[in-house]
Amino acid sequence: MKNDLKLPVQDVNLEPFMATPPQYTRKKVLMKTDKVYKCKIINVIDLTEYEKLFHLKILDRVERKIFQFRPGQFVMLEVPGYGEVPISLSSSTNNHEYIELCIRKTGRTTNVLHEASVGAYVGLRGPFGNSFPMEKMQGNNVLLIAGGLGLAPLRGPLYWVSEYRDLYKDVHVLYGAKEPSQMLFTYQYNEWEKVNHINMLSIVENPDENWNGRVGMITELLDEIEIDPINTYAIVCGPPVMFKFVCNRLDKIGIPMNKMFVSLERRMHCGMGKCCRCMVGSTFTCVDGPVFDYWSVLNLKEAI
């Protein structure tokens, strides 16, 4: 009997399908992020009563060189015997000597970490998560807006625009804190302004007797600068309640929601899409985020 059934090539030979495999980003993340880098604390800077800046050096010289990350990513920091916590990378992507992490003491692991001194050893996994699209922002004005501890994750993009300053137009840092004593990185503001030509504006809600700066809410700083909504990108880091006020205000100014980026924080365990601890709906904050554009955030149920 004649068999005139002609099978398409693809059915018997899967090669053509395999030529362009789908992007299993989550799998890629899994493959590279179970490595623990052994690090030594080489410097500790007291920033406020509750926040310290730690400089960590990866012990292995080769690993130190290959550890690369992007602004907005985070690491899982292990304090041996106590726990592991997600912390935003707060350093320059071009600093291959040490990693900067700004850490607030809030509980079990971070309290112990605040007791650690220079010479102590910790473990580090990562880098994890996506990042701010710094290349997309080139040729535009950039608004970097932070509230409180939000200046820690904002430092990554801030270093980036400073180091590639001529690729960006006007850069503004708007920083709001509850009290003057809670302001972070005050020793760097002059450098950002004078050396990196960044317009730095700060404001506090509750001034003390020594404060002679602005008093009010962070959104008030937006009245002080001229914003060209078509050519401006914004990065907003801070407590979720701040996102709503700031992003709604930016929306009114006319900045498209897909040009505003926020960094979402959720409780995390694995950092690599395994434990589901960080899920918002069907979205993994650790792998699909922590950086989201504001349009996506509004479409994520209960994200903020």
Point out which span in 41-49, 85-93, 163-171, 225-233 binds ligand FAD (CB under 6 A): 85-93
CA nearest to 227, candidates 171, 167, 177, 189? 171
Q: Which is nearer to ligand FES, 174 or 270 (CB)?
A: 270
Among 170, 220, 269, 298, the residue binding ligand FES under the rule CB under 6 A is 269
Point out which span in 35-43, 54-62, 147-155, 273-281 binds ligand FES (CB under 6 A): 273-281
Q: Which is nearer to ligand FES, 182 or 285 (CB)?
A: 285
d(CA 74, CA 26): 16
Helix (H) or strand (E) segment spanning residue 192: helix 189-194
Among 144, 174, 250, 286, the residue binding ligand FES under the rule CB under 6 A is 286
Among 268, 291, 297, 303, the residue binding ligand FES under the rule CB under 6 A is 268
Q: Is residue 26 part of the contact set for ligand FES (CB under 6 A)?
A: no
d(CA 173, CA 175): 6
Find the shortest distance in angstroms from Cβ 272 to ligand FAD: 12
Query: What are residue 232's phi and psi, to 5 degrees?
Result: -130, 135
Structure tokens at 175: 């920083």
Asked if residues 295 and 257 have their Cβ atoms less than 8 Å apart, the reply is yes
Q: Is residue 267 part of the contact set for ligand FAD (CB under 6 A)?
A: yes
Find the shortest distance in angstroms from Cβ 101 to ligand FAD: 6
Among 154, 270, 280, 303, the residue binding ligand FES under the rule CB under 6 A is 270
d(CA 284, CA 274): 9
Q: Which is nearer to ligand FAD, 146 or 171 (CB)?
A: 146
Helix then strand count (H, E) for the chain reads 9, 15
Contact set for ligand FAD, span 109-128 (CB under 6 A): 109-110
Find the shortest distance in angstroms from Cβ 209 to ligand FAD: 28
Asked if residues 272 and 34 have their Cβ atoms less than 8 Å apart, the reply is yes
Counting residues that bind ligand FES (by CB under 6 A) gives 12
CA 124 to chain CA centroid, Å, is 16
Residue 254 φ/ψ region, left for φ over 0, alpha for ψ in the -120 to 50 degree band, beta for the rest: left
Structure tokens at 158: 């801030």
Q: Is residue 86 part of the contact set for ligand FAD (CB under 6 A)?
A: yes
Among 133, 176, 238, 273, the residue binding ligand FES under the rule CB under 6 A is 273
Q: Is residue 284 part of the contact set for ligand FES (CB under 6 A)?
A: yes
At position 126, the amino acid (one-letter code) is G
Q: Which is nearer to ligand FES, 71 or 271 (CB)?
A: 271
With b for 16 or more beta-carbon neighbours within 10 A and e for fewer, the 201-229 pattern comes to bbbbeeeeeeeeeeeeebbebbeeeebee
Asked if residues 139 and 167 have their Cβ atoms less than 8 Å apart, the reply is yes
Q: Is residue 274 part of the contact set for ligand FES (CB under 6 A)?
A: yes
Q: Is residue 106 part of the contact set for ligand FAD (CB under 6 A)?
A: yes
Point out which span in 3-11, 13-21, 28-36, 259-267 binds ligand FAD (CB under 6 A): 259-267
To the nearest 10°, the Cα dihedral for 80, 279, 72, 99?
0
Binding site for ligand FAD (CB under 6 A): 74, 83, 85-88, 102-104, 106-110, 149, 152-153, 265-268, 290
Q: Residues interacting with ligand FES, by CB under 6 A?
A: 268-271, 273-278, 284, 286
